[in-house]
Amino acid sequence: MVLSGRGTASREGVALLIRFEKARVADAVALTEVQRRTFDDDSNRFGGLSAGGPPGYDSVDWTLWAIKTGIYYKILAGDRRESRSPGGVGDRRESRSAGGVGDRRESRSPGGVGDQIIGGVILFDMHQRHFNLGRIFVDPDWQDRGIGTQAIQFIEKTFPYVKRWSLDTPEWAVRNHHFYEKLGYVRVGEEVPPGVDMRLYLYEKRIP
Mean pLDDT, residues 66-92 taken together: 70
Cα–Cα distance for residue pair 148/154, rounded to 1 Å: 10
Mean pLDDT, residues 166-172 taken together: 95
Domain residue spans of the chain: 4-162
* Closest alpha carbon to 76 in 45, 130, 118: 118
Angle (CA) 137 143 146, round 5°:
95
Local structure of residue 43 (DSSP, 8 states):
H
pLDDT band (50, 70, 90) for residue 207? very high
The pTM assigned to this predicted structure is: 0.78
pLDDT of residue 7: 65
Cα–Cα distance for residue pair 81/48, rounded to 1 Å: 40
pLDDT of residue 192: 94
Mean pLDDT, residues 169-173 taken together: 93
Write down the CATH number for the domain with range 4-162.
3.40.630.30
Cα–Cα distance for residue pair 181/46, rounded to 1 Å: 18
Please determine, for residue 93, whether its predicted confidence score (pLDDT) is greater than 60.
no
User: pLDDT tens digit string along 8-34?
Assistant: 565 555 568 999 999 999 999 999 999
pLDDT of residue 9: 65
Please determine, for residue 94, whether its predicted confidence score (pLDDT) is greater than 60.
no
Max mean pLDDT among 3-7, 46-50, 91-95 falls in 46-50
